[in-house]
Amino acid sequence: MVAPVAARRRTRAGSARIRFGFAVIAVYVVAAAIGPWLFRYNPVDTRTADRLKPPFTRLSDGSFAIFGTDQVGQDLLAQMLQGARISIAVGLATLLLAGTIGVTIGLAAGYFGGWLDGVLMRLADIQLAFPSILLAIFIAALLGPSVVNVVIVLAVANWVTFARVARGQALATRRREFVDASRTLGAGTWRLVTRCVLPACVAPVLVVATVEIGHVILAEASLSFLGLGTPASTPSWGVTIANGRNYLADAWWISTIPGIALAFLVISLGVLGDALRDRYDPRLRSL
């Protein structure tokens, strides 16, 4: 009888949070998509005359460097736009790979149950009991820095969450009447899983993906900062921030500005993920 008034207020605030999250992320996606065309970035282009110029400087070629330049005279904004492209692409690719692996394993475990479920979920337990960044560092160290390797590494470190969600949905759906009905009508396992069980996973998996993508982007930046992510020639945010570390005394902006851009994106993704989770599936909070 007494659901507090706050619940009502929260729902309304929830839609504001969802709008805010989507708006900021849209800005980043658009910037990542068209920015690199507007502000050309050429990794081999070095202009010593424009080295380490502070923000709001007019450069030797007459262009205006709103965020300043780096140690080889590259425009920081152009570099960051390219970095946004890499971060978002790596994030999406990782989620796609981790989601595919995780959902497949989760569905198999939840739908078939038995020893398969036992083995797969113990594997998940082991991996959860292992700090995921360490696993990522280990694999990345062996594979060497490259964009594709980062995606593989982060997918391996993140599939467990998806597997747990998919398994939960499969367990819940397996016993529902329409699944029983389809089985009675002679539908095969493959058909049952793809037509009945898989669709039930879509919404919770999307919510989890929103929550996870911020973590993935942060992890990519951390790996790149450590020199284990994208190669030094690829200007991801982590690489740019790492490069700026050597010039902290003369050029504070190289490390700080990309970090702000990164933090703001991750905050927005966090706000959006939390709001979606609160709205559509509060049970996922414990994952």
Partner 1 sequence: MVLLSVRDLRVEFATSGGVVTAVDGASFDVGSGETVALLGESGSGKSVTAQAVMGIVPKPAGRVCGGSISYDGRDLLAPGVAKGLRGREIAMVFQDPLSSLNPVFRVGAQIGEMFRRHRGASRREARAAALDLMKRVGIPAASKRLDDYPHQFSGGMRQRVMIAMALALSPRLLIADEPTTALDVTVQAQIMDLLTRLQAEEGMSLVLITHDLGVVAGVADRVILMYAGRVVETGSLREVYEHSGHPYTSGLMASVPAVDGPRDRLVPIQGSPPDLLSLPSGCSFRPRCQYADEQCAEVEPVLRQLPDRPSTHQAACHHPEGVLTDVH
Partner 2 sequence: MGAYVVRRLFFSLFVLWGAVTIIFVVLRLVPGDPAYIMLGPDADQAQVAALRAQLGLDQSLIQQYATYLANVVHLDFGESFRLNADSMSLVLQRVPATIQLATTALLLSLLIGLPLGVIAALRAHSWVDRAISVFSLMGQSTPSFWLGIVLILVFARGLKVLPSAGSGSWAHLVLPTITLALPFLAILVRLTRSGLLEVVHEGYVQTARAKGLGEGIVVLVHAMRNALIPIVTVVGLQFGALLGGTVIVETVFAWPGVGRLLIDSIGRRDYGVVQASILLVATIFVLINLLVDLLYGFLDPRVRLAGD
Site for partner 2, rule CB under 8 A: 6, 9-10, 122-123, 125-135, 137-139, 141-143, 214, 218, 221-222, 225-228, 238, 241-242, 244-245, 248-249, 252, 255-256, 259, 262-263, 266-267, 270-271, 285
5 binds partner 1, rule: CB under 8 A: yes
Residue 158: what residue type? N
* 6-45 residues near partner 1, rule: CB under 8 A: 6-8
Is the Cβ of residue 193 or residue 265 nearer to partner 2 in the bound state? 265
What is the closest distance, in whole angstroms, from the C-beta atom of residue 268 to partner 2 in the complex? 9
Report the alpha-carbon distance of residue 152 to residue 96 in Å, rounded: 11
Report the alpha-carbon distance of residue 16 to residue 21 in Å, rounded: 9
What is the closest distance, in whole angstroms, from the C-beta atom of residue 14 to partner 1 in the complex? 13
The C-alpha angle with vertex 282 and arms to 93 and 214, in degrees rounded to 5, equals: 30
* Angle, helices 198-225/237-244, rounded to nearest 10 degrees: 20
The piece of 5-13, 124-132, 181-189, 214-222 that touches partner 1 (CB under 8 A) is: 5-13
Closest of 198, 205, 100 to residue 156, by C-alpha: 100
What is the closest distance, in whole angstroms, from the C-beta atom of residue 23 to partner 1 in the complex? 27
Interacting partner of 127 out of partner 2, partner 1, none (Cβ under 5 to 8 A depending on kind): partner 2
Query: b or e along 193-224 (b: 16 or more beta carbons within 10 Å of the residue's beta carbon)?
Result: beebbbebbeebbebbbbbbbbbbbbbbbebb
